[in-house]
Structure 1
Amino acid sequence: MKSHTPVGDQLIGSAVNALNQARINDEIFTLSRQDIAFDLAREQMQKVRDFVASPGNILGSMSTKHGEIAEQVEVAVRNSEQAIEERLQDASTFRATFESVGRTAPQDYLIDGMDVQSKFINGTNNNLVHVLKHMEAYPNFGKDGSFYHIPKDTWQEIQDVLDGKPVEGLKSSTIEAIKAKVAEIERQTQRPFADVVRPGVSDYKDVQLGKIDETLDKHDQELAKQNDAKRAEIIDDHQPSLAEGMRATAMGAAVGGAFALGTGIYRKYRDGKNIFRGDFDAQDWQDVGLDSLKGAAVGGISAGAIYTLTNYASMGAPFASALVTATKGVASLAHSYQRGEIGLDEFTDLGLIVCAESAIVGAMTVAGQALIPVPVLGALIGSISGKFMVTVAKSLDGKARQTLQARMDEFSRRLDAIEQQVLNRILSEFAALGELTKAAFNVENNRQLLEASITLAQAHGVDDDKIIKNADDLDAFMTA
């Protein structure tokens, strides 16, 4: 079986391209959903802006309107953060809501279906006084899982008092009063203070009428940062990865094995043996099976190389497949040339023929809609073929490389300005490769890709001595 079949490599390239495209499509889809979630989050914050834009509609005097503002901020910020974090597409699953809550009811809003009363009172001790008054009016509140929200900075001050930390501005009598009220809340509810009274998302000063616009601006900025972080996470999650490269390898091994099996059966059929009529003997099965194993091994390595080139060199899958085909073909010829089995002229002629099939694919893929006149098509393909050989046969001696370059120059001289532009456009694909081609075919870099082929062969019960396990085995197979 030839190790450089362009059709097989193009099949593998198509499979790898489908894998890449599925990842790209999922990234676009997920980013789109994240954008919708961010728009939903901004809608919640806009509701607060609309609410505070009409102070006359807010309950309380000018000095107490911040209480209802705090409620609106609490619900909006919580839901906005949830929308971004969970990539929500609508408001139906928000955990915080005012729905089914009367404006003067014992609770101000619901979080996860639990009643919450917001108490934003100036002064830590005064805040606890209002919590106890509410508990007196509604004796069951705080006992059944419902809880209170107080300003975040007030809650932290209480916690510092309970932890014995020094709190600036509090007299010892005030500290003792705070401790006594905390103990009373725990006695009445039989629950820890931190369960009954929890910090809201806002400090006391942040929800005042003169401060609220600045507070909302700050929340908008924080939400934008949170959304940017989620988008970056999505992009990072959809980068090419070793795990996906292994899947590409396994897929390439399957395609390569199946393709080799089909061609092997067809070759036997041309020799007069029909598998469906029971014409195969033990040797025939061994030949076809060995071809399939070789096809799987080469397919896996080819897929890994194509995956690398398409994802890290921005090459199209057909062009990457063509380069893989040329690399394998020229590598085999280079070994024969270096061992003295073929001469320089034969190596050059055969190499150009091997690369010509791949060059046609590269020309058609990269040139796109450019019209290539038939009289110069051969020269164009010859130029690309030579470039393929110069690129992949870096181990050749100086004489061989000079001969190849001379052939390439000869082809190029036959092209006019327009065709030369087409050639330059195609050859520019190579300029961005650097050492990537070498890396893609480096056995050590692709050790794990080779291991995938080993695992596949073992799973199918292949004899251990027939499995390619290392670089020496692979080299012997590729030059066989």
Structure 2
Amino acid sequence: MPANTTSRVDSSAIPDQATGILVDAINHARTAAEGAAQAAQDNAFTDAMRAMDEVRKFIGDPSKILGRTDTKHGEVAEYVEVGVRRARDFLAQSMPNATFDGVGRTAPMDYRIGGIDVQSKFINGTNNGLQHILDHLDKYKDFGKDGFYHIPKDQHAQILEILKGNTGDLSVNTVRAIKEKVELIETLTGKPFTDAVQPSVSTYAEVQLGKVDETVGHHEQDLKQQNESIKNQIRTEHEPSLGEGLKAAGSAAAVTAALTLTTKLWKKYQKEGKNVFTGDFTADDWREVGLDTAKGAVGGALAGGAIYALTNSADMAAPFASAFVTAAKGMASLAADYHAGKISLDELVDSGMFVCSEAAIVGLATIAGQTLIPVPVLGAVLGSFAGKFIASTLGKKAREVTDRMAERMNRIVSALDAEVRKALRKLEAEFNRLGDLAKAAFDLSVNTRLLETSLALARAHGVNESQLLKSVSDVDIFMNGPMNP
């Protein structure tokens, strides 16, 4: 094998495998983060359902609910309010802010929300409900300044419509009475009506004894749907992304630059006896080392982006993707030498087999799994697999080379027994599944189109222009900016 082929493999394989380890760590971190987030959300949903179970337990025994049969809905409304609010907070992984703790059953307040006293008034008729609020304010004169009232959400909506002039079928006297009571409530509490009196989570009808069980069921169904939406959002947030791909490429550039710099400094010491730590380097030495390091960084960035694409788009294992990238880079260099007339067709094919041998070995180990490959024909299988790499990386750029490889591969395959051919077909199926993804991984225009496509999708869904990342530099600034609180 020509010496330059050996250097090609040696100089690329180690940084690419290091990049593969880095990308694999990024992928695993993302997967682990998603797993943790999904587990936390599952626990949150369990807590939310427990809160709803407490409501069901309370309404399941009407004999223990205060009031007559026609007034028990008042305390039912309180338990539904607190239970639903607690369930929603649990689902959002927030501390529940609604509670009965420290509240007497016949106290001036019925429950607290965020530490603020709340009195619930579920009275039949909007005008009647407002009168009950005024009666309560007359008895507890400071309540409206420190706390607020809950009324059925349908009655609250009706009052707001009346204040807008939309009176519906209500009589003139009823409308006037409601408006007068609203003004008096604002005067006594010193607050706007919408602050002093707020809508409950329930309508008047929803908390009646014959209806509340169905109401709780609707709330539970809503919580389930919200939970699925949150879990889907978690999945979406932890999918492979352009931003993370750029991060992988940047990290790979740094790692490769460091490896290249260290290797170059060591070679300088070995070959020329120049020790960077004792001031032996000249300006020319530093220029040489700096140029090689910069080249290494660029190559590392490309390798990092390619490996990230292959591991996430083609479902390749990171070692396999790293070996594939190494082979592709090596074959690109060999193809350039061949077209420049520096090496012959036979040298290209022979050198290509060695350049792709690492990818063939790693790929065989990754894909073959438990398939038993007889040792005497292992070389033939690896040769066939390496040939597939050569054909895949060169594509249509060198038809005579791929034709020569096809001829070799046919001879190799014909020498294999049925079991080994079966294993080989499995390997070939994996390659056919990959298609042109290896080419796409190195195609900068494809990666640019990814950004353009994501912009089009975001605009189609009505995302505000100010929130869009419209260029790679925008993505870079976003990825390197401060974390959101």
Q: TM-score, normalised by structure 1?
A: 0.89
Which residue number corresponds to residue 301 of structure 1? 302
Percent of pairs with identical residues:
48
Q: Take 1:426 and 1:186, find their aligned partners in 2: how far apart are those partners?
A: 78
* Secondary structure at the counterpart of residue 123 of structure 2: coil
| Aligned residues of 2:98 and 2:113 also touching (Cα < 8 A) | yes
Once the two structures are TM-superposed, the CA of residue 167 in structure 1 deviates from its matched residue by 2.0
Once the two structures are TM-superposed, the CA of residue 417 in structure 1 deviates from its matched residue by 2.9
Which residue number corresponds to residue 468 of structure 1? none
Which residue number corresponds to residue 466 of structure 2? none
Q: Take 2:243 and 2:369, find their aligned partners in 1: how far apart are those partners?
A: 32
1:332 aligns with 2:337: no
**In the alignment, residue 215 of structure 2 is paired with which amino acid?**
T
For 1:88-107, list aligned pairs within 5 A: 88=94, 93-107=95-109
**In the alignment, residue 53 of structure 1 is paired with which amino acid?**
G
Q: Take 1:361 and 1:433, find their aligned partners in 2: how far apart are those partners?
A: 16
**In the alignment, residue 60 of structure 2 is paired with which amino acid?**
A
1:39 aligns with 2:46: yes
Deviations 1:190-221 (CA, angstroms, capped at 9, x unpaired):
21111111000000000011111111111111
Specify every segment of 5 or more residues in structure 2 that has no aligned partner in the other structure, as ranges: 1-6, 452-471, 477-485
Which residue number corresponds to residue 218 of structure 1? 218
Which residue number corresponds to residue 237 of structure 1? 237
1:12 aligns with 2:13: no
* Secondary structure at the counterpart of residue 148 of structure 1: strand
* Secondary structure at the counterpart of residue 144 of structure 2: coil
Deviations 1:387-425 (CA, angstroms, capped at 9, x unpaired):
001111013343222111111222222332333333333
Once the two structures are TM-superposed, the CA of residue 189 in structure 1 deviates from its matched residue by 1.2
Question: Which among 119, 142, 145 is matched to residue 143 of structure 1?
Answer: 145
Q: Take 1:397 and 1:291, find their aligned partners in 2: how far apart are those partners?
A: 29
Deviations 1:342-385 (CA, angstroms, capped at 9, x unpaired):
22211111111110122111112223344433222211111111
Rate the CA distance shift 1:281–1:446 in 2: closer, same or farther, 3 A. Answer: farther
1:391 aligns with 2:392: yes
Q: Take 1:220 and 1:271, find their aligned partners in 2: how far apart are those partners?
A: 74
* Secondary structure at the counterpart of residue 167 of structure 1: coil
Residues matched between the structures, number:
446
| Aligned residues of 1:273 and 1:280 also touching (Cα < 8 A) | no
| Aligned residues of 2:99 and 2:111 also touching (Cα < 8 A) | yes
**In the alignment, residue 99 of structure 1 is paired with which amino acid?**
D
* Secondary structure at the counterpart of residue 444 of structure 1: helix
Deviations 1:246-301 (CA, angstroms, capped at 9, x unpaired):
11011110111112122222322331424244443333332222211111110011
Q: Take 1:394 and 1:188, find their aligned partners in 2: how far apart are those partners?
A: 83
Q: Take 2:422 and 2:442, find their aligned partners in 1: how far apart are those partners?
A: 30
| Aligned residues of 1:363 and 1:381 also touching (Cα < 8 A) | yes
**In the alignment, residue 417 of structure 2 is paired with which amino acid?**
D
Q: Take 1:330 and 1:12, find their aligned partners in 2: how far apart are those partners?
A: 19
**In the alignment, residue 25 of structure 1 is paired with which amino acid?**
A
Q: Take 2:432 and 2:301, find their aligned partners in 1: how far apart are those partners?
A: 26
Q: Take 1:343 and 1:425, find their aligned partners in 2: how far apart are those partners?
A: 33
Q: Take 1:369 and 1:274, find their aligned partners in 2: how far apart are those partners?
A: 50
Once the two structures are TM-superposed, the CA of residue 182 in structure 1 deviates from its matched residue by 0.8
Q: Take 1:413 and 1:180, find their aligned partners in 2: how far apart are those partners?
A: 97
* Secondary structure at the counterpart of residue 142 of structure 1: helix
Specify every segment of 5 or more residues in structure 1 that has no aligned partner in the other structure, as ranges: 456-480
Q: Take 1:254 and 1:79, find their aligned partners in 2: how far apart are those partners?
A: 48
Once the two structures are TM-superposed, the CA of residue 438 in structure 1 deviates from its matched residue by 1.6
Q: Take 1:42 and 1:153, find their aligned partners in 2: how far apart are those partners?
A: 26
* Secondary structure at the counterpart of residue 132 of structure 1: helix
